Structure 1
Amino acid sequence: MFERWLRRSGRYMALFREVLQKEGLPPDLVHLVFVESGFNLHARSSSAAVGPWQFLRSTGRLFGLTVNQWVDERKDPEKSTVAAARYLKHLYTIFNDWPLTLASYNAGEGTILRAIKRQGTTNYWDLRLPRQTEDYVPQFMAVLAISRDPSKYGFDDVELDDPMNFDEIALRGSVDLRAIARLSECSPDELRDLNPAVLRHAAPGSDGLTMLRVPKGKGQVIMTKLQDGVAVPAVDLTVRHRVRRGETLQGIANQYHVDAARLARANGIGRKHPLRRGSVLTVRSSFTGKVALADLEPGDPRGSTRYVPTRDIRVPRTTLNAASDAEGRVTHVVRRGETLASIAAQYDVSPEDVRRWNHLSISKLRRGTRLKIRTGDAAIASPKVLTSDSLQIAALPAARPASSRRTVVVQRGETLGVIARRHGTTITALKRANRLDGTVIRTGQRLKIPA
């Protein structure tokens, strides 16, 4: 499987690294994509995370990606990488520590902050987290090691796919890919492969502007034909939007880059018929007429296929200055017949140490349990580290008591997996809290969120 991922990475690796570097992040973070999706632009997880960086719909929109019936920018190689870079930068401003930042990308910052508050440490390697999150950073490190020296690990014969090579064109109007394919004398499938965010036959524009990738050398061909008067009719795209709690008409109009007054008239919204949660709005593209070359000012950021509008994301008042250290940390998987005392003796530590490091309330162990063990100097608590952690953790908001319960209303398209990840819990815990026999939930259903 990794061989297939490595081969596929050749198409996107240089592009992703360039975007990350331009966004001010270490280019080696590109190796997260191996762990997230194996460089599959169309990957979709059981929790409905989509694309190479595995964005949930809500998180993608939060960081500027457009997701609707016509386009899903979570699948776009450039735009999704820009959004992922901004999300990672946001997380790093909270933790100032890369292992905790990566763990938060996987599980959500709320899950990690609550674990830090409850367990009293800012060291990622000492935190007990969901199994997937505990494995996430080691998997990233393993992939990074293999990618830097593939021959050492037996992958020297893997032939990488050719890198993406394309021209960019800026057009006015919503564009039918089939018409552009005819202009550029290539197949519609070639255009779809270069523009994977386009879900159907047409690419809708933002503010009437559509950016497309076309095969290398075809950009000038299309520009020349349009300048010579070749007519390409714009596509009048229609999107249906279900109003969610807290949404306003202006906010919805901004999301689709249309005029709010026009949107209200088209849907009969007014004083007598106000906007209501659950109602479905018809949103039409704001541009009609013929497709034409866009006349953009030099340096206009919209004139790039990697443009993602910036969002003002609020950072929590309390941030950390963590320093995760893996030195002397070992994970031990309990085998048949092992006891707390025998495991402690194996690593020359006390059973009480093992209980404290793993927050165990009883001494009995089950086979397969993963225990965090510290060896050497790591087994001796540093007063300086303890003091630093205590001061930082004391400033964090208090963790919710065990009896605390929140209630959420299931939105259209949400699954138990999506809701569990968003609120830092598990599907099993959600089913138990709500006495569910299966995983099927319905829109409008109220669910209790366990603490």
Structure 2
Amino acid sequence: MLKLYRTLYIKLYVLAKSLSCARQLHTLRYLLIALLVSIALSYSLSAFNLAHAEESIQDLKARIKSLESELSRRPKDPSAYPIPKSLTFCGDKIDLRKGDMQKRFELEVIKIIKNRYQVHLYIKRATAVFPEIEDIAKELNTCADLKFLAVVESALKPKVVSRAKATGWWQFMPATAKGFKLKVSKGLDERSDLRASTKAALTYLKRLYKRFDSWPLAMAGYNTGPNRLKRSSKKQKRGSFWDLDLYTEAERYSPRVLAMYYVLTHLKDYDFAKNLDDGWPQEPLVTYRVKLPKSKYQEVKYVTKTIKVKPPKSRDRKKRRKSKRSRTQTRKLKKKVLTVSSKLNYNTVAIALDVPVRDLRRYNPHLQGKHLPLDVAFNLYLPPSRSEYLMKHFPGHSGQAVHRNKAARELNTKLAPSAKVTERIILDHSLQSNSIEKAIKQLGGSINNTYQVKSGDQLWQIAARAQLSISQLKKINQLGPLSVLKVGQRLKLKLD
């Protein structure tokens, strides 16, 4: 028995020496004290207590095993992780043994793996975003490895804004974005549109590679600007990115992208449990191209306002006396006021397309403000089986999808022929005749009758389908501010 205690004590002592974490050492000290106390007690206690001591030893063994397994899962010292001597990026082999290339690359690798929680978030987001970038890279016949540049630029978040006012997935400046036909306005910013901005970014990088014939130089040109990079290259008479003396951010940019590429493609080597396919799954989305005419949805009004104006001072005494009598004059101003139809606010559109408002905004981060943009074509991302709603509520739209993402293609859902498309808010004023009667019939009631509340119904949904405001529906049914809908309750949809 004493021999068993001795071996266990030595094992604990060796484990305590190998640990660096103060908390773990503190825990093991308590374990050693507990072991010594149990040894002292084992000599003084009877055979009954000896059996109890053996149980505590087994418990200690289990604790030691759990500590060892936890230690094996902990990240190693940075020097223990592999640093390659060369790597292949977009088909180009880059030898890192020349000059200080290895040092610059290793510095970026250490900075990436230092913040392991952030890398975990990159993995989570990449599962949904990377397939879309790969599809566009295939369309443009360019390198798919450039997707790691988006990780460095925006951490795969659509609405990131830098100090220099660069925005979106690929951090385009406003002038550069307009040069690649990305629309940047008050209600629409296509720098946050994944498909549109990715096409622009990959086209830009493809041109830069054609110009510099080197991916590190092309990526540095994307960051600092191609003309500035060309001037530095001419001035220093150096053609390689690794030999150029640039400002710190530009010098670190290409090694950072290469380090991000290497770490995220060798996650197991850096003790990450998950792969790039184990993140948040991609939601099935269908892309529609929409353009709303101003003539239908914008109202132009001229408002005449009467304002008081003080008369100008005159040098002539007689005129001054007259001006004192009428110190203020009235003048009429004609002011042009543009108002967008309330039918185009996001809440109304979300109800019409049968999509929650929050989801509509989440799917379309490029659409900003309170209303859909007018007289400009833009991408509208919706869940599958929404083409019928689009055709119904956006007159003139064919309902034909421009693109389906990978998840939507796999799902391949189609609107069942037997499924009913409920009558919802009509966005065109010319189609509103008898719409309330149609809506009431499809809700399950008649014009003179009432609607029976079903499980899951909400007051705003019933009001929207019947083309009434919530206040009107409350007034018709004499509902107070604290009234609660009950299943089976009958609501009037029209005044008697």
Which structure has the higher relative contact order (CA within 8 Å, separation 6+)?
1
Superposition TM-score, scaled by structure 1 size: 0.49
Superposition TM-score, scaled by structure 2 size: 0.45
Larger radius of gyration: 2
Structure with the higher fraction of residues in helix conformation: 2
